Structure 1
Amino acid sequence: MPAAPLPANESVRLQTLADYQILDSLPEQEYDDIVGIASRICRTPIALVSLVDADRQWFKARVGVDVGQTDRSAAFCAHAILNQDEVLAVRDATQDPRFLDNPLVTGAPHIRFYAGSPLVTPDGVALGTLCVIDSIPRELSPEQLLSLKALGRQTTSLIELRGRTNQLETYRSELEQSNEALQEFAYAASHDLKQPIRGIGSLTEFFVEDYGDQLDDAAKEKLELIRRLTDRAQTMIDQMLHYARVGSVVDRLQSVDLNEVVGHVKENLFALFASGKVSIQSMQLPSANGAPVLLNELFQNLISNGIKYNDNESKTVEVGFQTKPIGPDDEAVTAFFIADNGIGIPERMRPEVFTIFRRLHAADAYGGGSGAGLTIARKIVETHGGRIWIDPSYQDGTCFWFTIGTSMAGIEHEFRYDKVQSEPDLCHAVSI
């Protein structure tokens, strides 16, 4: 009995088969259904999904046989994979010199008829066959052959889907490991930042103690601001350390006073306000359920962008919100907006603004920047179960809208800056 020669790409073929992680896997209904259909269409007592390994053929699914594998040396399928484009059809194995003394012919299951459709991956690698077997000589009709090929393609698609799922699981695992490494780095970096921040605070206190009687009220006020900013930086670093260790923000949500958040941003941008060229106008905002450190970063990012990317002599940023009933159940949804009178974002570029490291201007324009700010803003919003978008009707600069805790489909079509101005009762406007 001559064994089938090895395919020219045998080493690649075996590696590909291993990569799919299907050998010796548990039974699956989808494959069982396919061999059942093949057996009924071709009217054969036996049908198999056979995968040709290095020294065996292993049956992923089978009808009509009890064994789960046989030696490759006796495998009809080892011959079938040599011609990937055709169904190997053997009318009577006792009359074929390749198989007449095969132990599967001379003994159980006494194969006479065999037809195997190769299972070929998109990369052109034959893994095995979908085959049908009978103990009497016979032939398949053209329609049966077409059906066997079609079922073979469906089998290959299932195997390919399995491979893609395995890849996604590998990527997910690698991403988790990468996130863990990033959290460790954030922890180390934040820890290293604590010492210089603490030093700035101590130096400020020493300066006030040693030279306080020589300072006027304006100088003392600026030193007090430095102290507050230092304390806030220390608090944020502590929160980042905790965040890096735990890795998830979901279980640390709390009610956040967004008016305090805007106030913190104003203090952080004190130097710009001192010039008299920047104005932040804010409504009395409702509280939101979130992570304080992240919501501070979100508002800081969007407000500072409105000032940074602005050519006007007087730069203005408006912060507000609107609550309105949406959907068939008239669910009350609150969306926040941050609008500026800056350079704006051309419509053709708006699909790219949330792409990381994608700058919309020259690298050295407007003080430079990495192009990651809006990507981080979107990530913060999405971490809080919300959605962020650009108001397409706003013409005086840029107006970002975002929700916190609501990501309802189509919600970005419901809120517009001009509606807030025309229907102030919906936003409860009170300037602060």
Structure 2
Amino acid sequence: MTYDATGRLLLTPVDREGPDRARRLRRLDVGLRPEPAFDLFADRLADVTGAPYAMVNFIDGTRQFFAGLHTPDGDRRGDGTARYRARDHGYCPHVVMRRKALVLEDVRDYPRFAGNPVVDESGIRSYLGAPLLDDCTGLALGTVCVVDTAPRPWGRAGLATIKTLAGELMEVVRRRGDLIT
């Protein structure tokens, strides 16, 4: 945890790997634009978990980008505005920094996470996400995640599911990297 100049607690951890992650994402040519394959993967995440929202999220040093996005109304905003979030909005940056999956069945039960802007701005109440770990660099490039506006008992089954799906997506990213190098 860090504090700003006024002594206020900052909820999003400092990300010293952001510049390296941004370079790796550019090299892999991911996280730069919406991709139909990632949108389809987000649709699958939502279908498998029953969540109304699902994302394939890549994080550089300053922002999050949903290269894959599923919403209940199907609005993926082709102009990309719905696909960007500040780095301090949401829970994915915590997953990236921890390099471990995160299960929040009701975010209000966790003081560290309850004050996140997505709770008030978007009404997010539950979160389930897993990191996208790059074997070549050791970096967590982003996450696959699902969220709901109601508390959700994700449980161990949800945790196992999201971790498996993250591994599946990283196989796709790895194959893409093999074509580049």
Q: Give the superposition deviation at 1:94.
A: 2.3
Number of matched pairs: 164
What is residue 62 of structure 1 aligned with on the other side?
69
CA distance in 2, matches of 1:72, 1:8: 13
**Alpha carbons of structure 1 residues 166 and 28: separation in structure 2 relative to 1, 3 Å:** farther
What is residue 26 of structure 2 aligned with on the other side?
18
**Structure 2 residue 56 is the aligned partner of structure 1 residue 77:** no
Whether contact under 8 Å (2:43, 2:70) holds in the other structure is: yes
Aligned residue type for 1:95: D
Gaps of 5+ in 1: 168-432
Aligned residue type for 1:43: G
Whether contact under 8 Å (1:2, 1:98) holds in the other structure is: no
**Structure 2 residue 50 is the aligned partner of structure 1 residue 43:** yes
Between Structure 1 and Structure 2, whose CA radius of gyration is higher? 1
State the superposition RMSD in angstroms: 1.9
Aligned residue type for 1:46: Y
**Alpha carbons of structure 1 residues 88 and 113: separation in structure 2 relative to 1, 3 Å:** same
The counterpart of 1:155, out of the listed 151, 156, 169, is: 169
Q: What are the residue-to-residue correspondences of 1:290-301 with 2, within 5 Å?
A: none
TM-score, length of structure 1 as denominator length? 0.36
SS of 1:150 mapped into structure 2 = helix
CA distance in 1, matches of 2:141, 2:64: 10
What is residue 112 of structure 1 aligned with on the other side?
125
* Structure 1 segments (4+ residues) deviating >6 Å: none
What is residue 53 of structure 1 aligned with on the other side?
60
Q: What are the residue-to-residue correspondences of 1:179-198 with 2, within 5 Å?
A: none
CA distance in 2, matches of 1:55, 1:46: 23
SS of 2:113 mapped into structure 1 = coil
Q: Give the superposition deviation at 1:7.
A: 4.1
Aligned residue type for 1:33: L
Whether contact under 8 Å (2:127, 2:146) holds in the other structure is: yes
Higher strand fraction: Structure 1 or Structure 2? Answer: 2
What is residue 283 of structure 1 aligned with on the other side?
none
Q: Residue by residue, what CA displacement relative to the aligned partner does 1:204-239 show, whole Å, maximum 9, x if unpaired?
A: xxxxxxxxxxxxxxxxxxxxxxxxxxxxxxxxxxxx
TM-score, length of structure 2 as denominator length? 0.81
Q: What are the residue-to-residue correspondences of 1:142-221 with 2, within 5 Å?
A: 142-167=156-181
The counterpart of 1:2, out of the listed 10, 15, 19, is: 10
What is residue 113 of structure 2 aligned with on the other side?
99
CA distance in 1, matches of 2:107, 2:157: 22
SS of 1:111 mapped into structure 2 = coil
